[in-house]
Amino acid sequence: MKRLIRYILATLLVAGALVFGNAGGLHGPMPGTVAAEAATLKLNKKKLTLEKGGTYKLKIKGMPEGAKLVKFKSGKKSVAKVGKKTGTITAVSAGKATISASIRLADGTKKTLKCKVTVKAPNTGNTGSSPAGNDTGSPAGGGKTDDPSTGEQPGTAEKEFVYTPGMYIDNMDDIHAAEKYCAEHLLDLECVIPEDFSDEFHGNLRGLFRKMSTQVISSFSSGSEAGTWEVSISPVYNISFMVERALVDPEVANNAGEDTLKYVKEAKRMTEEAVKGKKNLKEKILACHDYLIDHFSYDTSEGPNSHSIVGFIESGKAVCDGYALTLKMMLEYIGVDAEPVTGPGHMWLRFLYDGEWKYADVTYDETYTVHDGKLSRKYITDKSGNFLGEKEFYEVGHMAETKD
């Protein structure tokens, strides 16, 4: 009888240990959950063929909650380079290279995804220059790509425009592509154009440069070959744009200048402090919004630096475009596409979340926070905590935007 009682007690103790031992795990992933979620991770390409000079942006699919990209890395930089955070591959020379994406999962383990890249020499039979494509993970011009889930067939990404100083350009598609490339890399635009192209050139250039610059200086001189002009366009990029580009793409940081780099460093520190400990993208977006309200105030005096992040860093104050452009660069740094929206005398922001544009106005929320004494999210989320789409955003009493 005593033996039976001891057996029953032992059984109950073991069962209790199992029950209460697992209870602590209810606050984290159940055994096997992280592994199961990791199994959904993949790149949008496992094999890729590019011509020398071409580019392609890798994207990670199926990123589970709590996972974080560590970095992209090229196994052979002499063949193909890749942006550590952006995943944009640049074909350098003919050969083969493996691009890897290192990801840290919620339980601290790492997973590595790989894409095999083949770089071919340019097709010398193609004498025309191709226009710049998009940067959405698809080849420029909407060409077909291989889908890793349907047979691992290697695809060829259409060649994207690559700018080289002093290049010969005779069409507006390539002029605008060169303008975009130079703006993204904080460069001057230098090219040679035919004389009969100069009138069209004058009438169609500088659209992007005007948006990104405080001043655009240009010069024309006779080219070394008859019938050509040598053109030099020197934009004075505005500080917000320079900080954002250098923050998002460290490879262009040196083009921003030493004075700008201190603001880049501070923008990085601010963003990382804001999102520290946040588990998912939504929490990180809200944290960036809240950080600006918690740490800075509206500049009623409209000081000389109040229209950019410089105002926040130098004096702790800025006006609406300072709020909007600083939030934009913070969101871009954590991988969220964003762009400013303007109305009469005001600027706010929209950002891509789950494939849809959502709207936010930190300046309005900062004003409500000051008046009500508690942090406002009226102009970024609804009462249920969902991000505001365009219709919902303007329905809460926001001014209308200026349509182009």
317 with 203, same domain?
A: no
Within this chain, do residues 284 and 354 fall inside the same structural domain, yes or no?
yes
Kindly state the DSSP code that residue 381 receives in the 8-state scheme. Answer: B
Q: Tell me the two tokens of residue 103.
A: 């990801």
Residue 24, classed as helix, strand or coil, is: helix
CATH number at residue 180: 3.30.110
- Neighbour-count burial of 344, counting CB atoms closer than 10 A to its CB (0-12 exposed, 13-18 middle, 19+ buried): exposed
pLDDT tens string, the chain, 404 residues long: the values are 444 444 444 444 434 443 333 333 333 444 445 455 556 788 888 888 888 878 888 888 888 877 888 888 888 887 888 888 888 888 888 888 889 888 888 887 888 888 988 888 765 443 333 223 333 333 333 333 333 333 334 444 445 678 899 999 888 888 888 988 999 899 999 999 988 887 777 766 667 788 888 888 888 888 888 889 899 999 999 888 899 888 888 888 888 888 889 899 999 999 999 999 998 999 999 999 999 999 999 998 877 788 989 999 999 999 999 999 999 999 999 999 999 999 999 999 999 999 899 999 999 999 999 988 899 999 999 999 999 999 999 999 899 888 75
72 within a domain of the structure (yes/no): yes
CATH (domain of 94) = 2.60.40.1080
Ramachandran region, residue 316 (left: φ > 0; alpha: ψ -120 to 50; beta: rest): left
Does any domain span residue 161?
Answer: no
The position carrying tokens 């060829």 is: 156
Query: What is the full DSSP assignment across 175-199?
Result: HHHHHHHHHHHT--EEEEEEGGGHH
Report how far residue 99's alpha carbon sits from residue 111's, in angstroms, rounded to the nearest whole number. 14
Last residue in a domain, options 156, 176, 198: 156
H or E segment to which residue 347 belongs: strand 346-353
- The answer to whether position 26 is within a domain reads no
Whether residue 181 is found in the same domain as residue 109: no
For residue 23, count other CB atoms closer than 10 A to its CB: 9
Overall pTM surpassing 0.85 (yes/no): no
Specify if 32 maps to a domain. Answer: no
Q: Domain range holding 207? A: 167-237
